[in-house]
Amino acid sequence: MSASKLYIGNLSWHTTDDSLNQAFSAHGQVTDSIVMKDRETGKSRGFGFVTFSTDAEAQKAIDCMNDQDLDGRQIRVNVAQGRGGGGGGGGGRYGGGNSGGYDSYNSGGGSGGGGGGGGNVW
């Protein structure tokens, strides 16, 4: 991740892409600015990103803007980090490593029939 892309946290719900751009353009050439929004509601998620044309401009913005007021909130500004590949999405839910699950309940044998043999393979 380039040092010219900054994470801006603790944004006001009223901060827009344009107002974010305006606030940071005083510290260098902003090539991109975005306030992250909720997919469902379209409302701000309270953070965004600003990208500068150089790392030096980005560092100047960190020095000048971190812990400053923007739209009534004290914002946090630092170099954006990669997402780190996190989350994997709760793996193993439909099989894989889970002995039991639906197969043991739907094993097909009426009265106490032997567990999990054949039957319901998805």
Q: Is 107 inside a domain boundary?
A: no
Q: Is 68 inside a domain boundary?
A: yes
Structural domains of the chain, count: 1
Which is nearest to 13 in space by CA: 41, 39, 46?
A: 46
pLDDT at 105: 45
Asked whether 11 and 48 are in contact (CB, 8 A), the reply is yes
Q: Is 48 inside a domain boundary?
A: yes
Q: Is 69 inside a domain boundary?
A: yes
Q: Is 88 inside a domain boundary?
A: no
Q: Which residues of the chain have pLDDT under 70?
A: 1, 85-122
Sheet holding 30-37, edge to edge: 30-37, 44-52, 5-9, 76-79
Q: Is 56 inside a domain boundary?
A: yes
Domain span at residue 15 reads 5-79
Is the pTM above the cut of 0.85? no
pLDDT at 87: 56
Q: Is 94 inside a domain boundary?
A: no
Q: Is 92 inside a domain boundary?
A: no
Domain at 72, CATH number: 3.30.70.330
97-111: burial string, b at 16+ Cβ within 10 Å, e else: eeeeeebeeebeeee
SS3 20: helix
